[in-house]
Amino acid sequence: MEYDTKQKKEVMDELKKSPVALSASQIACNMKSTGASTVYRILTQAVSDGTVSMSVRGRTRYYSYLGGCHHLHATCMQCGAFIHLDDEISNDISNLLEKNGLAVSPESVISCLCPQCRGKK
């Protein structure tokens, strides 16, 4: 699949500077010259090569930049905060799932409620 390298870099930059997971349309809003369909195409490619993780909230897909992370990640179902888990916690979770025959990778994103959103309840 071909895409403009400069556009891809801009999409990745938007994800890198955001503390929360972003949807394709949110990214497109921040990028003046690039349409949502192009952003979506770039994101889909980045998910398949493991650069970006995808999580679903409601009916919308949200994306986060992974870079070279080797630990697991969590995303808040309410505010979309993207959390990098400690290596130690990641290993514990991986080992527990492994006992059930399940394999996880950095692209596996755990849906949860962050401390702030839990506090609001």
Q: What is the dihedral of CA 68, 74, 77, 79, to 10 degrees?
A: -60
Shortest distance, CB of residue 35 to Zn ion, whole angstroms? 29
| Residue numbers 86-115 binding Zn ion by CB under 5 A | 114
Q: Which of 79, 93, 104, 112 binds Zn ion (CB under 5 A)?
A: 79
Q: Which is nearer to Zn ion, 47 or 79 (CB)?
A: 79
CB 46 → Zn ion: shortest distance, Å?
15
Amino acid present at 114 = C
The rounded distance, in Å, linking the Cα atoms of 33 and 79 is 27
| DSSP β-ladder status, 60-65 and 22-23 | antiparallel
| Residue closer to Zn ion, measured from CB, 54 or 117 | 117
- Find tokens 């990641």 and name the residue: 90
Task: Please report, as ranges, the residues that interact with Zn ion according to CB under 5 A.
Answer: 69, 76, 78-79, 81, 84, 114, 117
